[in-house]
Chains A and B, each alone.
Chain A
């Protein structure tokens, strides 16, 4: 008797009805722009966030070029200040926050739940249009001269001193926030109400748990950003005196309000990354995630604790010694659930069947880089060290390890992992592995020197710097070049694969999960028959058995 391996497990393979899928169901521009299909909306988001990613990347690269030499010799100071401001605004508000939830989450979440669509398809489409309107403000600001406040818009600089397009860009961020809120709302309702028969909470893939936590944070935090930005716009135009010391206001109040959103926003960016990583670790080790419930609840713990640590951005900004201590303490606590995840992912690989395919390479990179990003967060949470490294390149390196080394690595892993499902085609594996390697090497070369130069004393947002910082900055720019190549490659081979990639089949990875039980690309209604779930998440033997039975029916 031959042993059945997972690769030749008898899944439903194309027959006549599989020829129709969400991509060829309708044609024409309007069928895309007016679609209510979550999968098509995900594709719309994919195009839009990719454009913003390229724009934000160009800003970053121009900054790195300027920083090759200590003198400010390539751009004027004003131009440089606009570059880092726009880099931050574009990357955070228009790329990182929507990237994983709105692209991968939109596409995969309903399929993972065995649902036909999200709970509110029209709201889903509306969220994309709102995002585009907000993004248009961003683009207009970029074209008409930019903004120079830093992405944090600190008062009173943003309200009284900057004469750039502060109003328009904060309005853009304000509008885009509603897009996030609608997506979060849609996910929460969908997860509560639209799970397939048998899909209980503890049978949910960890992706869903993490997306749920993300959505809760989005729903609770984003309104605070909206309020803050409205106050900022009101203050800037009408001078009502909320943040203006001359009128009795307090500029530090703005920082409290801003970070009350923007610290949880860090978790809006990283939790979806963790969501993708949990899926990929399970799929490429062919194993249940070790400590499923711990990983699931650690997402909720992060979401909760994430609301209690905002003032660790303000240790030197004007809070009392005692409140600094409280926030330092809480910041240490929020590191615990992240550590739990890293340990569990690692333990999952024990006695596993580890594949070295591209998504797993990105995931290994994620775990390594997120670990560095996490432990350097401990440095910043420790009060005595934060006083020195606050607002230095140490901080810049830290949050790039989390957001680029974490979130973008996970986003790339997710794109590669679900690309066969999204397009029905495989990307070229060799090129993809090369891109993963380039991104990992380039990333470390770019950002590791920044830890060093930050501790030596280089402040962030400096157009010109002291000559002794140059060597480390040259390394950093060299790394950025490699990193850029690493990001360009996938754009090319993904496009190539649409026409030339080999057909993927339903389940090219031999992974478990409802999304692999339907055809690639999925039909418009996701499943030909509503699936009934009888197995736990990542339960390989049970899933295989269920699939075989479905076939024999």
Chain B
């Protein structure tokens, strides 16, 4: 009971923006509300019913008054809209150099996986001062990942990957809450995010992991025999993945689809949904066979293979696809430094990148 905050910790780069907007609104709406109450009580007392005041003194409404209190609030509301939308935009534009972490929600725990392979439950370690992008999905019902100290929240859905980001600005330990009601232990689906000095974070990462996320994904890629169709040395029954990430893929029946996290997800779980043009719909579904965790590992691997740059090539990558990708990224650019953005390079990338 001694600890009794009336305001949450401010520990992310967007938190001051949200708080500024919030406090600004508190001042504006508070002033207007107080004014309305004051006027009401002033009138209620000044014009209270007395024997000489049994009937009101009629007065004709000046139309200008109505126009005033329609136009002014509308303008104020629009300003609030613009300010809110501006902050929202900042919240939704993921910086290019983000550290990529994967999250899975399930009844009733949070699982986090780091690109270098560390896994943790209900705790998330992140470095201070670096944008962290969380790609997440749910294994069962809808959850919602909320970091009150960072002022960010996003629902976690069972049918697709969603991404949120934040940049911790203050070393410390802050709440993680599930904000979307998810059943019996909803209020127990909580945890802590540890914002650490980058060196501390590196030390923490160094503590044992069973290979990077992508390399774990590679094993699964072979286990599920994905490689028999989707590698350059394969039979050509399925599209080769190299260099595809982030690019539009023509699909059967016309149109294109961007080869992104959700297309990869859909193609594994529901391969018949959007078939790459020129291929037969022969891939079986892996719905129910691949767990959400494995899906994330596969995703990490596929993204590393499909990354549109030459720096993170695997041995299997064909000269053709290198050619394609070099169009997207200026050749000669050291890949991991610039384009680590959406693509966690295999193992080495994260440990060398502070």
Known: A287-B58, A343-B69, A391-B180. Contact between A318 and B157, CB under 8 A? yes
Q: Does A119 count as interface, using CB distance less than 8 angstroms?
A: no
Contact B288 A246 (CB under 8 A): yes
Q: Does A367 count as interface, using CB distance less than 8 angstroms?
A: yes
Query: What residue of chain A has the Cβ atom nearest to residue B63's Cβ?
Result: A291
**Which chain B residues lie closer than 8 Å to A388 at the CB level?**
18, 22, 148, 151-153
**Which chain A residues lie closer than 8 Å to B140 at the CB level?**
156, 161
B181 to chain A, nearest CB (A): 4
**Which chain B residues lie closer than 8 Å to A316 at the CB level?**
144, 153-155
Q: Does A321 count as interface, using CB distance less than 8 angstroms?
A: yes
**Which residues 106-151 of A have a CB within 8 angstroms of B?**
148-150
B319 to chain A, nearest CB (A): 38
**Which residues 320-341 of A have a CB within 8 angstroms of B?**
321, 324-325, 328-329, 332-333, 335-336, 339-340
Contact A351 B59 (CB under 8 A): yes
A-contact 0/1 string along B170-209, CB 8 Å cutoff: 0000010111111111111010000000000000000000
**Which chain A residues lie closer than 8 Å to B88 at the CB level?**
315, 321, 324-325, 328, 383-384, 387
Checking A72, A149, A356 against B48 with a beta-carbon cut-off of 8 angstroms, the contacting residue is A356
**Which residues 286-322 of A have a CB within 8 angstroms of B?**
286-288, 290-291, 294, 315-318, 321
Size of the A side of the interface (Cβ < 8 Å), in residues, is: 96
Contact B80 A332 (CB under 8 A): yes
Contact B187 A72 (CB under 8 A): yes
Q: Does B278 count as interface, using CB distance less than 8 angstroms?
A: no
**Which chain A residues lie closer than 8 Å to B4 at the CB level?**
468, 471
**Which chain A residues lie closer than 8 Å to B53 at the CB level?**
353
Contact B43 A350 (CB under 8 A): yes
Contact B178 A384 (CB under 8 A): no
**Which chain B residues lie closer than 8 Å to A5 at the CB level?**
54-55
Known: A81-B184, A246-B287, A456-B6. Contact between A372 and B84, CB under 8 A? no
Contact A464 B187 (CB under 8 A): yes
Known: A364-B44, A468-B3. Contact between A329 and B153, CB under 8 A? no
Contact B6 A286 (CB under 8 A): no
A-contact 0/1 string along B294-335, CB 8 Å cutoff: 000000000000000000000000000000000000000000
Q: Does A61 count as interface, using CB distance less than 8 angstroms?
A: no
Checking A160, A291, A315, A459 against B61 with a beta-carbon cut-off of 8 angstroms, the contacting residue is A291
Contact B40 A77 (CB under 8 A): no
**Which residues 17-65 of B have a CB within 8 angstroms of A?**
17-18, 21-22, 25, 29, 32-33, 36-37, 39-41, 43-44, 47-49, 53-59, 61, 65
Known: A246-B288, A316-B155, A540-B56. Contact between A335 and B148, CB under 8 A? no
Contact A372 B33 (CB under 8 A): yes
Query: What residue of chain B has the Cβ atom nearest to residue A156's Cβ?
Result: B141
Q: Does A22 count as interface, using CB distance less than 8 angstroms?
A: no
**Which chain B residues lie closer than 8 Å to A245 at the CB level?**
157-159
**Which chain A residues lie closer than 8 Å to B54 at the CB level?**
5-7, 286, 353
Contact A457 B181 (CB under 8 A): no
Q: Does B66 count as interface, using CB distance less than 8 angstroms?
A: yes
**Which residues 217-257 of A have a CB within 8 angstroms of B?**
245-246, 248-252
Checking A291, A384, A541 against B85 with a beta-carbon cut-off of 8 angstroms, the contacting residue is A384
Q: Is the interface of A mostly helix, strand, loop or mixed?
A: helix
Distance A250 CA – B40 CA, assembled complex (angstroms): 49
Query: What residue of chain B has the Cβ atom nearest to residue A386's Cβ?
Result: B84
**Which chain B residues lie closer than 8 Å to A527 at the CB level?**
none
**Which chain B residues lie closer than 8 Å to A375 at the CB level?**
25, 29, 32-33
A3 to chain B, nearest CB (A): 8
**Which chain A residues lie closer than 8 Å to B247 at the CB level?**
none
Contact B8 A332 (CB under 8 A): no
Q: Which of A317, A328, A388, A468 has the most CB of B within 10 A?
A: A388
Known: A78-B184, A388-B148. Contact between A286 and B56, CB under 8 A? yes
Q: Does B253 count as interface, using CB distance less than 8 angstroms?
A: no
Distance A294 CA – B64 CA, assembled complex (angstroms): 13
Contact A161 B141 (CB under 8 A): yes
**Which chain B residues lie closer than 8 Å to A77 at the CB level?**
184-188
Query: What residue of chain A has the Cβ atom nearest to residue B158's Cβ?
Result: A245
Binds A, one of B71-79, B214-222, B338-346: B71-79
**Which chain A residues lie closer than 8 Å to B282 at the CB level?**
none
Known: A154-B142, A372-B33, A464-B188. Contact between A352 and B183, CB under 8 A? no
**Which chain A residues lie closer than 8 Å to B162 at the CB level?**
318
**Which chain A residues lie closer than 8 Å to B58 at the CB level?**
287-288, 541
A-contact 0/1 string along B1-13, CB 8 Å cutoff: 1011111100000
Contact A471 B1 (CB under 8 A): yes
A58 to chain B, nearest CB (A): 21
Q: Does B256 count as interface, using CB distance less than 8 angstroms?
A: no
Distance A535 CA – B353 CA, assembled complex (angstroms): 81
Checking A161, A336, A459 against B70 with a beta-carbon cut-off of 8 angstroms, the contacting residue is A336
Distance A387 CA – B32 CA, assembled complex (angstroms): 24
Q: Does B134 count as interface, using CB distance less than 8 angstroms?
A: no
Distance A547 CA – B148 CA, assembled complex (angstroms): 63
Distance A288 CA – B58 CA, assembled complex (angstroms): 8
Known: A316-B155, A335-B73, A353-B55. Contact between A162 and B183, CB under 8 A? yes
Query: What residue of chain B has the Cβ atom nearest to residue A367's Cβ?
Result: B40
**Which chain B residues lie closer than 8 Å to A381 at the CB level?**
80-81, 84
Q: Does B146 count as interface, using CB distance less than 8 angstroms?
A: yes
Q: Does B87 count as interface, using CB distance less than 8 angstroms?
A: yes
Q: Does A39 count as interface, using CB distance less than 8 angstroms?
A: no
Contact A354 B84 (CB under 8 A): no
Checking A287, A351, A356, A462 against B186 with a beta-carbon cut-off of 8 angstroms, the contacting residue is A462
**Which chain A residues lie closer than 8 Å to B154 at the CB level?**
316, 387
Contact B44 A347 (CB under 8 A): no
Checking A321, A353, A466, A467 against B89 with a beta-carbon cut-off of 8 angstroms, the contacting residue is A321
Contact B270 A248 (CB under 8 A): yes
Contact B77 A336 (CB under 8 A): yes
Contact A335 B29 (CB under 8 A): no
A509 to chain B, nearest CB (A): 11
**Which chain B residues lie closer than 8 Å to A285 at the CB level?**
47, 56
**Which chain A residues lie closer than 8 Å to B69 at the CB level?**
339-340, 343
Contact A346 B40 (CB under 8 A): yes
Distance A337 CA – B295 CA, assembled complex (angstroms): 49
**Which residues 451-475 of A have a CB within 8 angstroms of B?**
452, 455-457, 459-468, 470-471
**Which chain A residues lie closer than 8 Å to B37 at the CB level?**
368, 371
Known: A157-B181, A390-B179, A468-B4. Contact between A346 and B36, CB under 8 A? yes
A386 to chain B, nearest CB (A): 7
**Which chain B residues lie closer than 8 Å to A383 at the CB level?**
84-85, 87-88
Distance A250 CA – B273 CA, assembled complex (angstroms): 14
B147 to chain A, nearest CB (A): 9
**Which chain A residues lie closer than 8 Å to B74 at the CB level?**
333, 336
Would you list 29 pairs from A and B whose C-beta atoms are within 8 A, ordered by A residue?
A77-B184, A81-B184, A249-B159, A286-B49, A294-B70, A316-B144, A318-B157, A328-B88, A332-B80, A335-B73, A343-B69, A346-B39, A347-B65, A351-B59, A352-B47, A368-B36, A379-B22, A383-B84, A383-B87, A384-B84, A384-B85, A384-B87, A385-B84, A387-B91, A391-B180, A457-B148, A463-B186, A463-B187, A541-B55
Counting from the closest, the 5 A-B pairs by CB-CB distance are: A384-B87, A382-B84, A457-B148, A245-B159, A383-B88
